[in-house]
């Protein structure tokens, strides 16, 4: 069947309301609906429909909340419309920002080779800018400055509106921070939204070009956009307002990071012709699960009233499982997974990928990881520590960043000390003073004739040697294209700088060093593949058809959180935070840690228990629970513990109020003891099989 025919068939498979949203192409459209009602599906089909209606693929942009969601959407679009999906810009707001800045940032004085700083870089720059050695203080500043930036304020504006003296002094630190970023030709994450906004707002010629280039913009998870993202969207789509936003006010869970539901309220006011489509059928969950979800979200005030029904049947009752402590919780969860997987006679064998364990905070993953390892069940942790946060990967990224952008001082500091090349802190201190005195970047200082007056001749030699090395690498990287050549280049580079030896010297344990070296190899292979243009998932910044030089690949790294973002098809159990589970679904979901203080998260507040602030936070926690429940397709269990760790102490666990709010049928909630028996049987059967296998090998 041709793609046109199969697309038509797919669209015909949507319900009437979904089709209405897909076929409405000439003006602003908002799809407002509860979880699992097919909002994301509307977006993928509408991409196809727009192209079928005559738009060029590169005139359509779809914005997702994570890179992973972008990768998934690209896959779906490809299966709907084939190769032309490659031309569609499918990415996050941040990746879109990179594209805008790379193309037009010059207008703002930003070179196309600008660096994107990660959160650690920002912390250390702020320490320096604010004259503090305390990382915790610097992170508080970071947080406050980020909120200002998300409200669209720069340092001067923040100072003008400051009320308390602390705010004034913070605004001044922000000013020094901004100066440093300009000097380093670097941007932070918030800049990836606020600078493109400034670009489009203040430069009509750039704005008009982008508006002409993009004829329709689609936005998923619209409820979690913040004020600057909304403004950026408005400028991108212009007055004609050709966009499709889909969202659910009940799933807004990023208020703590500046997202605001005002964006939902403002749409109908600012676009009077807005077409609002509501979807009511949930295609994801059984009625039992959906009822629990609706009951939980019930007490929250309604922005837009919604009803949601499912035709998937009543299904298994939602289970509540009480546990002694966190280890016990992990054991019981694993037992449940094994029992569900073994299934009963008439239910088919299930895959590991059908299961997810979701929790409020990253550190809760530990006991589950242990229990799963013990049971030899494969799993992945998503939303946890990122591959790119590992020291060795950061070292290499620093080198690569410095090659791309010589002015990137944070990258310079890291690269010159990994591996250490006989250049100590005193030298770096003198170099820093010299650089700021002459308003040069650290790298530029290396080339200055007068540097010899502040560092001894021998050290000067090592410094200049480092500079030559970076220049030489940069030259070679610029001319390296394609996967094979890139890999060869990377391996040679690592050999040149003696990185493997450096890892073994730095680690006491050979095993740890070897593991770190494996990460380095993984990283190199992954980088090489990307520059070969073989991979679709390029943080959404370029399309698969393009091959890129290594240097171009480097710029997109900062946007990624995990190297395995594309490996969704692995047959493993998912462990994930609730926040990272947004938009996803699994047949079987276990919500862990449903105790007061964890979900809802601890609610102490200087304004007292009944304060407005507390109430709003509780509502956001409730939405988080709603998001968790609605990830489940067929079965859902919530677990809580009687005794939980808090720091070093144990405290009594009280079941989450949300469990009561789910209003489950009392007679059915307790876990069926037969499940445990089934799990035991499955375990015995497995052991017997293993034993038989072992014996047969004798």
In this chain, which of 10, 40, 333, 445 binds Mg ion, going by CB under 5 A? Answer: 40
How many Å apart are CA 233 and CA 93, to the nearest integer? Answer: 9
Residue 28's closest CA among 221, 262, 272? Answer: 272
How many Å apart are CA 151 and CA 144, to the nearest integer? Answer: 11
The least CB distance from residue 383 to ligand ATP, in Å, is 16
Is residue 505 part of the annotated active site? The answer reads no
Say how many C-beta atoms besides its own lie within 10 A of residue 254's C-beta. Answer: 18
Residue number, 10 or 407, with CB nearest to ligand ATP: 10
Contacts of 263 (CB under 8 A, 6+ apart): 222, 223, 225, 226, 227, 229, 230
In this chain, which of 28, 36, 533, 593 binds ligand ATP, going by CB under 6 A? Answer: 36
Query: Residue 595 in 3-state DSSP?
Result: strand
Residue number, 8 or 135, with CB nearest to ligand ATP: 8
How many Å apart are CA 196 and CA 231, to the nearest integer? Answer: 10
Is residue 665 part of the annotated active site? The answer reads no
Which of left, alpha, beta for 182 (phi over 0: left; psi -120 to 50: alpha)? alpha
**Structure tokens given for 87:** 């031309």
Q: What is the x/- site pattern for ligand ATP, positions 262-291, by CB under 6 A?
A: ---------------------xx-------
Query: Residue 241 in 3-state DSSP?
Result: coil
Residue ranges in 628-647 that form contacts with ligand ATP under rule CB under 6 A: 630
The torsion angles phi and psi of 152, rounded to 5 degrees, stand at: 85, 20
The least CB distance from residue 251 to ligand ATP, in Å, is 6
Is residue 464 part of the annotated active site? The answer reads no
The least CB distance from residue 585 to Mg ion, in Å, is 9
Q: What is the x/- site pattern for ligand ATP, positions 238-267, by CB under 6 A?
A: ----------x--x----------------
In this chain, which of 410, 532, 583, 593 binds ligand ATP, going by CB under 6 A? Answer: 583
The least CB distance from residue 40 to Mg ion, in Å, is 3
Window contacting ligand ATP (CB under 6 A); options: 37-45, 191-199, 267-275, 641-649:
37-45
CA dihedral 334, 659, 294, 288 (to 10 degrees): 50
Catalytic residue among 64, 228, 251, 286: 251
The least CB distance from residue 435 to ligand ATP, in Å, is 48
Say whether residue 9 binds ligand ATP (CB under 6 A).
no
CA 230 to chain centre: 19
Q: Name the DSSP class of 449.
A: G
The answer to whether 216 and 55 have CB atoms below 8 angstroms apart is: yes
Is residue 220 part of the annotated active site? The answer reads yes
How many Å apart are CA 640 and CA 325, to the nearest integer? Answer: 8
Binding site partner of 35, from ligand ATP, Mg ion, none, Cβ cut-off 5-8 A by kind: ligand ATP
In this chain, which of 38, 583, 593, 653 binds Mg ion, going by CB under 5 A? Answer: 583
Say whether residue 40 binds ligand ATP (CB under 6 A).
yes
CA dihedral 368, 370, 376, 378 (to 10 degrees): 50
Is residue 266 part of the annotated active site? The answer reads no
Query: Residue 62 in 3-state DSSP?
Result: strand
Binding site partner of 117, from ligand ATP, Mg ion, none, Cβ cut-off 5-8 A by kind: none
* Burial of 649 per CB tally in 10 Å (0-12, 13-18, 19+): exposed
The least CB distance from residue 218 to ligand ATP, in Å, is 12
Window contacting Mg ion (CB under 5 A); options: 39-47, 423-431, 488-496, 548-556:
39-47
Is residue 251 part of the annotated active site? The answer reads yes
Say whether residue 315 binds ligand ATP (CB under 6 A).
no
Residue number, 10 or 427, with CB nearest to ligand ATP: 10
**Structure tokens given for 156:** 């001067």
Say whether residue 540 binds ligand ATP (CB under 6 A).
no
In this chain, which of 22, 30, 41, 473 binds ligand ATP, going by CB under 6 A? Answer: 41
Contacts of 42 (CB under 8 A, 6+ apart): 14, 18, 21, 22, 31, 244, 246, 279
Say whether residue 15 binds ligand ATP (CB under 6 A).
yes
* Burial of 468 per CB tally in 10 Å (0-12, 13-18, 19+): exposed
Using CB under 5 A, list all residues that contact Mg ion.
Answer: 39-40, 583
Using CB under 6 A, list all residues that contact ligand ATP.
Answer: 13-15, 18, 35-41, 248, 251, 283-284, 583, 585, 630
Active site residues: 39-40, 220-221, 251, 631
């Amino acid at each position: 069947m041709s793609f046109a025919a199969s697309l038509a068939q797919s669209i015909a498979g949507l319900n009437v309301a979904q089709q209405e949203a897909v076929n409405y192409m000439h003006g602003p459209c908002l799809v407002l609906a509860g979880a699992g009602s097919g909002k994301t599906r509307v977006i993928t089909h509408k991409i196809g429909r727009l192209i079928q209606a005559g738009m060029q693929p590169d005139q359509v942009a779809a914005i997702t909340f994570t890179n992973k969601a972008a990768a998934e959407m690209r896959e779906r679009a490809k299966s709907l419309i084939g190769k032309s999906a490659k031309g569609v810009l499918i990415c996050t707001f941040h990746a879109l920002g990179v594209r805008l800045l790379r193309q037009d940032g010059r207008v703002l004085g930003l070179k196309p080779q600008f660096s994107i700083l990660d959160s650690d870089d920002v912390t250390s720059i702020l320490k320096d800018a604010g004259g503090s050695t305390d990382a915790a203080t610097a992170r508080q500043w970071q947080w406050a400055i980020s909120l200002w930036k998300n409200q669209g304020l720069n340092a001067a504006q923040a100072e003008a509106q400051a009320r308390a003296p602390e705010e004034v002094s913070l605004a001044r630190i922000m000013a020094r921070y901004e100066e440093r970023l300009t000097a380093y030709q670097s941007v932070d994450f918030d800049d990836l939204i606020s600078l493109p906004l400034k670009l489009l707002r203040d430069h009509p010629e750039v704005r008009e070009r982008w508006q002409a280039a993009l004829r329709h913009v689609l936005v998923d998870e619209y409820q979690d956009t913040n004020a600057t993202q909304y403004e950026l969207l408005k400028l991108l789509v212009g007055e004609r307002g050709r966009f499709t936003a889909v969202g659910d006010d009940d799933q807004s869970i990023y208020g703590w990071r500046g997202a605001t539901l005002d964006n939902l309220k403002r749409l109908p006011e600012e676009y009077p012709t807005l077409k609002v489509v509501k979807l009511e059928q949930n295609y994801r969950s059984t009625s039992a699960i959906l009822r629990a979800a609706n009951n939980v979200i019930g007490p929250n005030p309604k922005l837009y009233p919604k009803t949601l029904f499912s035709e998937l049947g009543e299904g298994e009752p939602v289970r509540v499982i009480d546990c002694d402590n966190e280890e016990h919780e992990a054991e019981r969860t694993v037992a449940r997974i094994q029992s569900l997987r073994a299934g009963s006679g008439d239910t088919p064998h299930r895959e590991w990928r059908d299961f997810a364990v979701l929790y409020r905070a990253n550190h809760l993953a530990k006991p589950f990881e242990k229990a799963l390892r013990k049971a030899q069940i494969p799993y992945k942790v998503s939303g946890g520590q990122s591959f790119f946060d590992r020291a060795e990967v950061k070292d290499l990224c620093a080198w690569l960043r410095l090659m791309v952008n010589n002015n990137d001082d944070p990258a310079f500091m890291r690269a010159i000390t990994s591996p250490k090349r006989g250049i100590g802190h005193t030298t770096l201190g003198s170099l820093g003073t010299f650089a700021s005195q002459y308003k040069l970047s650290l790298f530029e200082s290396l080339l200055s004739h007068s540097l010899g007056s502040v560092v001894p001749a021998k050290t000067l030699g090592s410094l200049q040697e480092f500079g030559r090395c970076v220049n030489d690498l940069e030259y070679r990287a610029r001319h390296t294209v394609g996967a094979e050549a890139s890999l060869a280049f990377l391996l040679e580079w690592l050999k040149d700088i003696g990185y493997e030896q450096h890892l073994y010297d730095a680690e006491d344990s050979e095993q740890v060093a070897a593991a770190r070296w494996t990460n380095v190899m993984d990283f190199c292979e992954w980088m090489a593949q990307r520059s070969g243009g073989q991979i679709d998932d390029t943080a959404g910044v370029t399309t698969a058809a393009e091959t890129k030089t290594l240097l171009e690949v480097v710029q997109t790294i900062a946007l990624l959180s995990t190297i395995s973002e594309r490996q969704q098809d692995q047959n493993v159990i998912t462990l994930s935070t609730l926040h990272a589970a947004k938009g996803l679904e699994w047949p079987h979901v276990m919500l862990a840690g449903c105790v007061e203080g964890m979900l809802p998260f601890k609610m102490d507040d200087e304004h007292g228990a009944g304060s407005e602030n507390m109430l709003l936070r509780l509502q956001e926690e409730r939405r988080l629970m709603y998001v968790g429940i609605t990830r489940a397709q067929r079965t859902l269990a919530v677990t809580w513990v009687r005794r939980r760790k808090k720091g070093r102490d144990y405290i009594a666990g009280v079941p989450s109020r949300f469990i009561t709010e789910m209003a489950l049928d009392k007679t059915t909630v307790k876990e069926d003891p037969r499940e445990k028996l089934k799990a035991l049987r499955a375990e015995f059967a497995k052991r017997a099989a293993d034993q038989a296998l072992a014996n047969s090998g004798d």
